[in-house]
Chains A and B, each alone.
Chain A
Amino acid sequence: MSQLVHFPKTIGRYGQPHANHIPGMGGHATHRLAMHRLATLASQLAVAVIFAAVWQGLVQLRLFDPFWVSTPMAVASAVVAEVQSPEVLAAIQTTLYETVVGFLISVVAGLASGFILFEVGWLYRAVRPYIALFNNLPRLVLAPIFVLYFGIGLTSRVALVVSVVYIIVLLNTLAGLQASESDHLRLAKALGAGRVATFTKFRLPAATPTIFVGLQVGLNFALVTAIVAEVITGGDGLGALVTVYGFSYQMDRVFAGILIMALLGTILSVLMQFAEDRILSWRRYEFRGLH
């Protein structure tokens, strides 16, 4: 670790001067890091180029029929066309709405019920088997029921998203709250922390990394579930749109739609990672030794 922590120059009696630090090395190291990043980016780009070339080659050699697999160029131009079409933009908006609203409801409900179940032991013991049962239920089969109850509109899809994501958030919240170190809890007790202080100052901060695992996975599942719900119910949204493209054999537009879904998911995931890095800034130092 000592190589990664930068000590100020005057550090009092116990501080040791930084043995491995050579003045002037900073610039060189930064330069090497930049080169390394550039090389990584180039290699990542190369993977995409090779993938497209193989795809194009297989079509060119008549090993694959472009009617079924389209071509990289056709898909690329379809992506450009799709993101400009008002119909597709409306579909993206619908899908995002279902994803985000369903996710937020799940987060609020999952965190709140997780906190309550953790603190009220008898309640947790009473409902635990049913949480396990619900978790093992393939919740996508609830889609027809939600359609019956809420119609084929946004509400039934949001309901399906909640049914999938809520349990993910809940289980990770519970797991995080149970993960406090016994040393910390002993200290909490010795320092006279009551139930509220033990929760807010010891349990919850310790649980936050695990809760964020649930949020990341949950957000991913929220988008996937929203799209699958659209495929099932039809109507609007990206899932429904791509289904229609498929039924009409517009393979370039099908692949373009799938690519847009993947990009949406990636953007959401990056935003969540950004929030996590902000809130869990202390964690940056925890794993530094591993890099």
Chain B
Amino acid sequence: MNLTAATESRQLETDSQMPVISVEHLSHTFESSKGPGTEALRDLSLSVREGCFVAIIGPSGCGKTTLLSILAGLEAQQGTGNVLVAGERPRPGRREIGYAPARDSLLPWRRALDNAALALELQGVNRQQRIKQARFALQSMGLEQFESMYPAQLSQGMRQRVALARLFAGSPEVLLLDEPFSALDAQTRILVQEAFLKVWERTHSTVLLVTHDLGEAVTLADEVVVLTSRPARVKATYTVNLPRPRVAVDIRLNPRFHEVYEAIWQALMEEVETQESEYLDALAGGRS
């Protein structure tokens, strides 16, 4: 089964449609006061079509979070290449873009409702309107009973769902997710993924998810992009043709889940091993 070929044919069909996220020949080097700096990304190209859920996976430290930070406008581009998100160059604080960091990043002095309303508040939405939207988002995460609780009163899974409510409250068209489920234990993670899927499959916003968890990528995404070890390039793109709506708990029982998982696993492992051996070489080099 040639998954890469399937992707290409799908892309041909929709070529006329403008991608919502487009990255063209992006290179990025972290400057360093001593030495030549660290090359994080090299000639990386990818695009995400409207309503499509793309997961980016790669060895840890390969530069996938750097890529997402550039897209979210958190990291200034240092190098060549073109990046467009919803028709504009990356810039933080756009209404149409939602960003979810690794870990929940809830503000401990705000109750769940005010945490869920934070993004809207910073966009200048008036109090009545943002409370209404935040309350709706909390409801869709099953947290309506917990809106007046502080983060310290909530479990890890609930905290992450408040963070997702904050993400969804403004109904952004594009979601940039930086390993938002990575801090959770395995069981909680699946429950939170399911809560996420439920809302997302209703809104169908365009998603770029960065993750190091292949199971998560296959569970959630339409396409999985495997990055190479640093400096990151796109190694391969895989289509996950599993039916929607998906149920995070059940989808792992689907035999196609495992077909896709294993195909990507091979590619991913090659890069993890390359990264490891490069790391060991660097260590040995440093010692001699």
Contacts and interface: CB of A to CB of B under 8 A. Distances in A.
B17 to A, nearest CB: 27
B119 A191 contact: yes
B121 A282 contact: no
Interface stretch (B41-49, B56-64, B99-107, B270-278): B99-107
A288 B155 CA distance: 14
A191 B122 contact: yes
A12 B142 contact: yes
A197 B122 contact: yes
Contacts of A206: 109
B92 A190 contact: yes
Interface string A1-41: 11001001011111100000000000000000000000000
Contacts, number: 80
Interface stretch (A105-113, A156-164, A167-175, A180-188): A180-188
B99 A191 contact: yes
B183 to A, nearest CB: 11
Nearest to B103: A183
B142 A192 contact: no
Nearest to B111: A282
B73 interface: yes
A205 interface: yes
Contact of A14 (B94, B107, B123, B191): B191
Interface in B73-97: 73-74, 92-94
A8 B161 CA distance: 18
A11 B145 contact: yes
Given A191-B93, A192-B94, A285-B150, A2 B155 contact: yes
Q: Which of B72, B144, B152, B161 has most A Cβ within 10 Å?
A: B152
Contacts of A146: none
A55 to B, nearest CB: 46
Interface string B31-44: 00000000000000
B52 interface: no
B108 A192 contact: no
B152 A184 contact: no
Interface string A270-287: 000000000010100110
Contacts of B264: none
A85 B153 CA distance: 51
B74 A14 contact: no
A285 B109 CA distance: 10
A15 B157 CA distance: 10
Contacts of B144: 12
Nearest to A6: B153
B109 A205 contact: yes
A205 B150 contact: no
A208 B44 CA distance: 44
- Chain A interface size, under 10 / 10 to 19 / 20 to 34 / 35 or more: 20 to 34
B152 A187 contact: no
B145 A12 contact: yes
Contacts of B118: 191, 201
B72 A190 contact: yes
Q: Is the interface of B mostly helix, strand, loop or mixed?
A: loop
Nearest to B123: A192
Contact of B101 (A5, A11, A186, A286): A186
Contacts of B195: 14
B147 to A, nearest CB: 12
A10 B107 contact: no
B122 A193 contact: yes
B224 interface: no
Interface in B105-141: 105, 107-110, 118-119, 121-123
A139 interface: no
A285 B152 contact: yes
A202 interface: yes
B105 A282 contact: no
Contact of B74 (A1, A5, A13, A189): A189
Given A14-B191, A192-B122, A184 B107 contact: yes
B227 interface: no
Given A192-B93, A288-B152, A186 B74 contact: yes
A201 B109 CA distance: 10
Contact of A282 (B92, B109, B145, B161): B109
A14 B108 contact: no
A282 B122 contact: no
A201 B122 contact: yes
B92 A192 contact: yes
B26 interface: no
Given A8-B145, A11-B145, A282-B152, 8 more contacts: A183-B101, A186-B101, A188-B122, A190-B74, A191-B118, A192-B122, A192-B123, A285-B150
17 contacts: A8-B145, A12-B144, A183-B101, A183-B105, A186-B101, A188-B122, A190-B74, A190-B99, A191-B93, A192-B94, A192-B123, A201-B107, A201-B121, A201-B122, A206-B109, A280-B109, A288-B152
Interface of B: 72-74, 92-94, 99, 101, 103, 105, 107-110, 118-119, 121-123, 142-145, 149-150, 152-155, 157-158, 161, 191, 195
